[in-house]
Structure 1
């Protein structure tokens, strides 16, 4: 086979994503005709058509689908390796986008400050990610790494530093009988209607935030589902249900109309730093180390 050209592979991958020659060209900053030329060159080297194009739509052929499945992870790995080597050569630089759920507490912000002091050439962006989609932004590369509520069972994600392990709190209206208690037992949840989470979060993660039964096996009523913490707390305030929250979030969202009562007998809540195993860089590793240093000091 004639030697492959990286530009041909880039054009094919962009076209596979966009399924439109014009948009693929815009993405690569080349003309539509240049995308067509690069594709024809790649097809001649492969010896078969990779894309079917009509006046109405563009789609991959079965052979194109096969090439995409094998090429995408390999090409991404090459790009990440080059970026990593470049980072090492010039020190950790560029941009690190850090996602968080709910609130960026003191540990997260202290880790960001430590990271910035260690790597002044690397800018950071702090991005709130949807409560109902904890892993999607990392998968879609909207952020480079994210602080999310445990548990994490996603095979493609690396779980780095786990921190802020503390008892959970139950958010109830301040007029609720539980609001007068100093603490609750997990079995008390059977008397509540728990507000859940809907959206793209996997079932195991949603059940961890709103269990269907107490540890003793007593069913817990299912309340309304929300996609944001603010929606959940608004429903708590309106006496539509109660909501389990991690301790930092309870502290941050404290308000007179809602009381947060510690719950014993449940697994402690904890936060974890995660990133995609195929998109790991020197920046993500350096931030993980900064977060570990802050967590150890705390």
Structure 2
């Protein structure tokens, strides 16, 4: 490789794209004469002219065209290797496992896209976790972080950041007396049998998901809950974006007036902090 300079290669690639010494210099933050110097040095190394320049235009020579075809992919691979190594050095490499309750909404999708763009050496995998056990997967190490409806008051879990707030809705059978209303007052929910999470979810969390004194059916997943609503077994409270992803012809989703907004939070185990988790938390914060 005989003292090959990456700056010369970068200059050639930019000039091949712009076909204009002035614009190439602007992109490289150097003068036009510096672009010419770098090009001449590179041509000296390869032993031939790569670019033809006249008073009217700039174009690649046949040698330059062939060099560009080989150099472009090699330079991209080199840049990717540097970026992946940088990510590995900062701890943002490998696999990040992200759990979610109910549906992977737009906020989570935006955060995942931003995370992948910033950390290509780390693969984020997603998995639905049970409505009945929102914290178990984090505690067992099945996921590194989980997107869970608040409140979360577990001493072994850390919450944050939070996603945007959304209005609550109630899922009702299409023939329910309240199904045709524009909104349902929160007071009306107190008299409805609301679907609630079964299993090990703590009492305060279960109460927040089903604010009613009337016993309703217990389910493991939100899909089960919507199916029971369609069968006329009860109603189900859930946030607007989740409702949008669970829609079906035999269920109506009506906004609820008077309930606190639904808030999703990113949850991890207190002992589960690492570079991948911190980087994903930054992506959530930036996309919120």
Q: Same fold (TM over 0.5)?
A: yes
State the distance in 2 between where 1:287 and 1:88 align. 15
In structure 1, what is the equivalent of residue 167 of structure 2?
167
Check whether the contact 2:102–2:222 (CA below 8 A) recurs between aligned residues: yes
Give, in angstroms, the shift of residue 264 of structure 1. 1.1
State the distance in 2 between where 1:91 and 1:196 align. 39
In structure 2, what is the equivalent of residue 152 of structure 1?
152
Q: How does 1:1-298 map to 2 (within 5 A)?
A: 89-212=89-212, 220-295=213-288
State the distance in 2 between where 1:133 and 1:91 align. 29
Query: What secondary structure sits across from 2:179 in the alignment?
Result: helix
TM, length-normalised to structure 1: 0.66
1:114-147: per-residue Cα shift (whole Å, max 9, x none)? Answer: 1011000011111111111101100100000010
State the distance in 2 between where 1:165 and 1:89 align. 35
Check whether the contact 2:194–2:216 (CA below 8 A) recurs between aligned residues: yes
TM, length-normalised to structure 2: 0.68
How large is the RMSD of aligned CA atoms in angstroms?
1.5
Q: Post-superposition, which runs of at least 4 consecutive aligned residues in structure 1 deviate over 3 A?
A: none
Check whether the contact 2:149–2:262 (CA below 8 A) recurs between aligned residues: yes
Give, in angstroms, the shift of residue 193 of structure 1. 1.3
Larger Rg belongs to: 2
Give, in angstroms, the shift of residue 190 of structure 1. 3.0
Query: What secondary structure sits across from 1:245 in the alignment?
Result: strand
Unaligned runs of 5+ in 2: 1-85
Cα 1:186–1:97 shift into 2, 3 Å: same
Unaligned runs of 5+ in 1: 1-85, 213-219
Check whether the contact 1:87–1:282 (CA below 8 A) recurs between aligned residues: no
1:166-186: per-residue Cα shift (whole Å, max 9, x none)? Answer: 121110001111110000111
Query: What secondary structure sits across from 2:195 in the alignment?
Result: strand
State the distance in 2 between where 1:281 and 1:120 align. 17
Query: What secondary structure sits across from 1:165 in the alignment?
Result: strand
Check whether the contact 1:88–1:282 (CA below 8 A) recurs between aligned residues: no
